[in-house]
Structure 1
Amino acid sequence: MKTLILFVALVGYTQALSYSDVLEEEWNRFQIDYTKFYQTEDEALLRRLIFVDNKRRIDKHNRRFMAGLESYEMGVNQFTDLLPKEFQSQMLSSLNITEAEGLIEFRYSAPRDVDPPSSIDWRAKGAVTPVMDQGEICESCWAFATTGTLEGQTFVRTGRLVQLSAQNLVDCSSTYNNNCGGGLAARALKYIMDNGGINTESSYPYQGTMQQCRYDSRNIGATVQGRSLVKDKSEANLAVATALYGPVSVAVDGTGLQHYRSGVYNNPNCTNDLNHAMVVVGYGHDSYDGDYWLVKNSWGTSFGESGYIRMSRNRNNQCGIASYAVFPMV
């Protein structure tokens, strides 16, 4: 009997040690994969503890995912050594949409006689530029959401796909209350309207910090004639707008996105407190997890599904995705 107890204890100890070994190996690989350097040993120790805690949370979630109890998978990414509050502080910002709603020229409501396709992916049609990484210094998601919708809308109208400069918006639209602390697509589009255009990414590349405005009228990549807000915070209106006009800038509650890897992000705890801007570039249906929005993010290709996230669609405007959906008229 004592031998059996000792054997069970040894097996438990070996399993625990094995998991610890795995965590240690993943921590070492994480530092290499994401080029993580820490200034002091104390900071490295703190980040390791946070990483291990996050990894345990990821593994617990993924056990539920494998059991069919969750619709999406979590995984290690560039944010796994951050506390939730640090992630929110670095990557998210409070978006005050109330004052901006009154400044938009048009409200979009889907015509009654329009039957949108069951799915659409503007990437496949050539309307979407590569995923960019806003970095961890500048909260410029609003700038990439603006360029993303304008790039797509311009392609639909002209057949030309031109990558536009988010840095142009970060540097030059501060008088419209946009900066590295946050901003809104509506205000950025107003800057482009008043300015007579926005520069191309190739002529004005992204730097990830706010710098002196260097706009050059010789390098205009697109112009804006007006702005439209999807009416009534309606997902049905957003779907038709996306299908007929092209990619649409949206704002969501991104608080729970820190560890997203793949699948349809269905989070019943998501709120309508909008703090992150992205671009809807399509929508569809997953046979296991239901309807989804195909959303382009600005956290690099190591995040999510090669830089994209599929967010729940037709679940009572989950995460507020249709609450502030804006697209330009070009």
Structure 2
Amino acid sequence: MPLLGSLSVLMVVFTSMVPGSSKLSAFENFMKQFNKSYTNQEEFQYRLSVFSKNLDVAKRLQKEEQGTAEYGVTKFSDLTDEEFRRYSLRPVGALPPTTLKESRTAATSEYPTCDWRKAGVISDIKNQGKCGSCWAFASVGNIEAQWGIIGHPRNLSVQQVIDCGPCDAGCRGAYAWDAYITVLKEGGLATDEAYPYVGVRNTCMSNKFAKAGWIHDFIMLPQNEQEMASYLGNKGTLTVCLNSTLLKYYNKGVFHPGSCKPATDHMVLLVGYAKDNKKKPYWIAKNSWGIDWGENGYIRIFRGKNVCGISKYPLTAIVNPSENQRITCPK
């Protein structure tokens, strides 16, 4: 039976299923806010049950939170953990290539804060949808930013990386090094306008479009947040991995959960760092879940404690090693 405008009736039917009516009211608001609909009463009942359980988890996380993060209703609140994992990495192998170069950067206090968004080199927030392509979005976002930092902003094709990447990757997940190897192999990336995102893996069409951005190499930094901040402030953005499990419940604030395993399954782009009004340091990370998640598509993550494994794989593309940086990171 289709769910047609009969929410008031369903609310009466299911009020007895939820302790009080607050969760049912919250679910109704959630449906309206995120334009959710369900095909029949059975699905409505199931999603209401999942929503209720997710609110209980969010409440527990709020009690355990060590930072200023606020947890609650998000667009993922009607999804089970298994369903939510489709937005994460599902790679076959998680070890970086043995040829991957490591770069050491002396930590410096020259840039106590940094926000590359203010320099106009960070492209708009995008939405990966139900494709596990966070690895491609973070990596392409890094390449775009590095081009912008040398004075040539770009908006490049994520879809090309998905189509032309490793045969077992695409929407199934991969890592930044897979994206960079693909860009090197293909000789660069087309623009996003020419080769737009569709959210499924298709036949590689790299040779049909002119290349608008390319890289010379890529490097991995040590698993050290001071060195990561130094590189970010002096040379540009970084792709990082982290455990995304608790991001399902995140609304805003500096994310510092009471417990988060360092088992990484998601990639984001670090675009800056700063301290809050209590002098607590944090990263500014660009996600690929749309502007209706987190802080308009971004998340602030506590810096210095390897929260959710964020320091495990910090990587960046090298766009042009012979050209001096033209833009300094705005405060």
Give me the whole-angstrom Cα distance separating, in 2, the residues matched to 1:168 and 1:309: 26
SS at 1:154 equivalent: helix
Cα 1:37/1:214, change in 2 over 3 Å: farther
Does the 8 Å CA contact 1:97/1:324 hold for their aligned counterparts? no
User: 1:132 matched to which residue of 2?
Assistant: 126
Amino acid paired to 1:99 = L
Q: 1:321 aligns with which of 283, 290, 310?
A: 310
User: 2:54 matched to which residue of 1?
Assistant: 54
Higher mean alpha-carbon deviation, 71-80 vs 283-292, is at: 283-292
Identity %: 28
Cα 1:129/1:17, change in 2 over 3 Å: same
| Cα distance per residue 1:136-169 (max 9 Å; x no partner) | 2x10000001111101111112x12211111111
Give me the whole-angstrom Cα distance separating, in 2, the residues matched to 1:329 and 1:266: 31
The reply on whether 1:168 has 2:160 as its aligned counterpart is yes
How do 1:1-330 residues align onto structure 2 when only pairs under 5 Å count? 20-59=20-59, 61-62=61-62, 64=63, 71-88=68-85, 90-94=86-90, 99-104=95-100, 106-111=101-106, 114-136=108-130, 138-157=131-150, 159-175=151-167, 177-216=168-207, 218-231=209-222, 233-288=223-278, 290-315=280-305, 317-330=306-319
TM-score, L = length of structure 2: 0.85
Give me the whole-angstrom Cα distance separating, in 1, the residues matched to 2:277 and 2:71: 20
Does the 8 Å CA contact 1:94/1:274 hold for their aligned counterparts? no
| Cα distance per residue 1:115-147 (max 9 Å; x no partner) | 4411100001111111111112x1000000111
Does the 8 Å CA contact 1:116/1:239 hold for their aligned counterparts? no
| Cα distance per residue 1:25-74 (max 9 Å; x no partner) | 32122222222232332111100111122224434555x48xx8653101
Does the 8 Å CA contact 1:108/1:237 hold for their aligned counterparts? no
| Cα distance per residue 1:183-231 (max 9 Å; x no partner) | 1111111111121101111111111111222224643221010011002
Higher mean alpha-carbon deviation, 114-123 vs 245-254, is at: 114-123
Give me the whole-angstrom Cα distance separating, in 2, the residues matched to 1:238 and 1:59: 32
Structure 1 unaligned regions, length at least 5: 1-15
| Cα distance per residue 1:100-124 (max 9 Å; x no partner) | 24232x2111136x44411100001
TM-score, L = length of structure 1: 0.85
SS at 2:171 equivalent: coil
Q: Which structure has the larger Rg over C-alpha atoms?
A: 1
Cα 1:284/1:257, change in 2 over 3 Å: same
SS at 1:50 equivalent: helix
Structure 2 unaligned regions, length at least 5: 1-15, 320-331
Cα 1:102/1:268, change in 2 over 3 Å: farther
| Cα distance per residue 1:259-300 (max 9 Å; x no partner) | 101111112421221100110000111123711110000111
Give me the whole-angstrom Cα distance separating, in 1, the residues matched to 2:242 and 2:56: 26
Does the 8 Å CA contact 1:95/1:184 hold for their aligned counterparts? yes
Does the 8 Å CA contact 1:197/1:221 hold for their aligned counterparts? yes
Amino acid paired to 1:143 = A
Does the 8 Å CA contact 1:71/1:289 hold for their aligned counterparts? no
Aligned pair count? Answer: 304
